């Protein structure tokens, strides 16, 4: 499989040069996936997809264009290259664009040692259906669950190859196994639902399907009888299911793309305190068996462990080559790209320093406030950090969960919110963002 992808990617850049490109890089991807949904003890839906797609980026005098195709015949590749070159000639000039210099490229050209792909036999549709049925049955065993909206099991495996005219040529494979369930309690206006889901690179690392179904039921039953919370200023505890969203906003603000545009609420905060003392935010794209690990970035640069925030102080932006050049800095090896898009900065395997207290201990210390377990909608001002989101969860009185809540809005300013964080010790492994429950002081809750 990888040999074919290598041939396609290298053929693309060769044709691009012949068509008149100064520089070019290409991505060839092969993917296969199968998913099974069950409902009411029977098969609801089965899907299978398989194919090869190719993408080409060409650069001519500071201009660039990206094209893609699912046709990878020799004639199609030649036409792609000609079309991309013609498009690039009409694009605006950006003097910061360009491939890496050869001496910037990593010597690593595969994912050896990272265990990113499960090479055991692909699970059969029958095996996936059995897992989904077991998850559904476990959820329905819980008293009070009226139905399981969906229970699913899925598998995917894909390979990619990146080649460029600067001499880079490398690729690797990746696999994903997943189980999920959505349970429902109540009827009509009193209906509540919640879910549980897990995914892993290796099937052997997945929890039992029964555990997924049981957890979906437990979470759903806890939401029965939800009502609006009071309005006012209260502490808010972000459950570990949603706490990573706060860190995602922080990562967006230290992304070189936003910083270079002047559209980040942290654009002037380098070397300033942005998290409480003692908190580190680290990135490690080289964690074996983790979902977003990668041996090199989309520009052929080495990925590495980074301390984005150390002891609460912002130390690094997240940069690709172009944003690094705009800011007068080196790339952090953080470029990602799709078949139809140019590279842009992104993160892999983020970890926030955990605290020492349990979630229950943080709730006990809240007095009166809100535990958020799910969110919907968002109004985030990327320049000022003003924050407003719809939320649901549980109301806390006297340090104990009193009742479930829904249909409320929480608001604050991210810069101020993050400086008040207290972390629990309950972060879960195997996540792209390994973040524990986070307590934030003094946010506004708009409810009843």
Per-residue pLDDT reduced to its tens digit, 214-261: 999 999 999 999 999 999 999 999 999 999 999 999 999 999 999 999
CA–CA separation, 371 and 369 (whole Å) = 7
Average pLDDT over residues 3-29: 96
141-160 residue pLDDT tens: 999 999 999 999 999 999 99
CA–CA distances in Å: residue 75 to residues 79, 82, 84, 243: 6, 11, 14, 49
What's the token pair of residue 90?
């009409």
User: How many angstroms separate the CA atoms of 440 and 236, rounded?
Assistant: 5
Which candidate, 157, 150, 167, places its Cα nearest to that of 105?
A: 167
Quick one: pLDDT at residue 345? 97
Across the chain, mean pLDDT equals 96
pTM: predicted TM-score of the whole model, two decimal places: 0.94
What is the percentage of the chain residues whose pLDDT exceeds 90?
A: 95
Average pLDDT over residues 331-345: 96
Cα–Cα distance for residue pair 423/435, rounded to 1 Å: 9
Beta strands 192-200 and 63-69, pairing class: unpaired
Pairwise CA distance, residues 107 & 166, whole Å = 13
Please, which pLDDT band fits residue 293 given cuts at 50, 70 and 90?
very high
pLDDT at 1: 60
Q: What is the pLDDT of residue 3?
A: 82
Q: What is the pLDDT of residue 291?
A: 86
Of all residues in the chain, the percent with pLDDT exceeding 70 is: 100
Which residue has tokens 């369930």? 181
State the pLDDT at residue 190. 81
Is residue 332 predicted with pLDDT exceeding 70?
Answer: yes
* In contact, 426 and 359? CB cutoff 8 Å: yes
Q: Compute the average pLDDT of residues 290-318.
A: 97
Q: Which residues pair with 280 in a beta bridge?
A: none
- Residue 182 has which token pair? 């959505």
């Amino acid at each position: 499989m990888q040999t074919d992808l290598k041939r396609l990617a290298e053929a693309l850049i060769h044709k691009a040069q012949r068509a008149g490109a100064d520089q070019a890089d290409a991505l060839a991807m092969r993917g296969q996936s199968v998913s099974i949904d069950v409902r009411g003890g029977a098969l609801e839906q089965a899907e299978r997809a398989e194919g090869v797609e190719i993408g080409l980026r060409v650069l001519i005098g500071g201009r660039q264009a990206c094209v893609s195709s699912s046709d990878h015949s020799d004639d199609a590749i030649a036409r792609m290259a000609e079309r991309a070159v013609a498009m690039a000639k009409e694009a605006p000039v950006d003097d910061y664009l360009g491939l890496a210099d050869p001496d910037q490229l990593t010597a690593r050209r595969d994912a050896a040692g990272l265990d990113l792909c499960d090479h055991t036999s692909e699970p059969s549709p029958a095996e996936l259906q059995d897992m989904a049925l077991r998850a559904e049955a476990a959820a329905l065993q819980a008293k009070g669950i009226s139905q399981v909206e969906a229970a699913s099991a899925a598998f995917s495996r894909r390979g990619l190859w990146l080649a460029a005219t600067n001499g880079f040529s490398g690729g690797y494979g990746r696999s994903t196994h997943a189980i999920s369930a959505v349970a429902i309690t109540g009827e009509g206006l009193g209906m509540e639902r919640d879910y549980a889901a897990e995914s892993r690179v290796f099937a052997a690392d997945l929890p039992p399907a029964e555990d997924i179904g049981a957890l979906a039921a437990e979470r759903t039953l806890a939401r029965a009888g939800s009502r609006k919370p009071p309005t006012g200023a209260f502490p808010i505890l972000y459950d570990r299911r949603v706490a990573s969203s706060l860190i995602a906003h922080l990562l967006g603000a230290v992304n070189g793309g936003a910083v270079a545009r002047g559209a980040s609420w942290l654009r002037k905060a380098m070397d300033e305190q942005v998290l409480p003392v003692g908190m580190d935010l680290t990135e490690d794209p080289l964690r074996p068996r983790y979902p977003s690990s990668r041996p090199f970035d989309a520009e052929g640069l080495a990925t590495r462990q980074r301390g984005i925030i150390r002891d609460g102080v912002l130390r690094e932006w997240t940069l690709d080559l172009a944003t690094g050049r705009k800011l007068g800095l080196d790339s952090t090896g953080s470029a990602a790209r799709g078949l139809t898009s140019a590279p842009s900065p992104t993160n892999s395997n983020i970890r926030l320093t955990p605290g020492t207290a349990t979630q229950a201990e943080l709730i006990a210390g809240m007095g009166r406030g809100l535990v958020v377990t799910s969110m919907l909608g968002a109004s985030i001002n990327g320049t000022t950090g003003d924050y407003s989101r719809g939320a649901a969860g549980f109301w806390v009185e006297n340090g104990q969960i009193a009742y479930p809540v829904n249909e409320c809005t929480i608001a604050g300013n991210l810069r101020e919110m993050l400086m008040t964080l207290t972390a629990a010790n309950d972060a879960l492994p195997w996540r792209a963002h390994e973040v524990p429950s986070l307590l934030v002081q003094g946010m506004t809750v708009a409810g009843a």
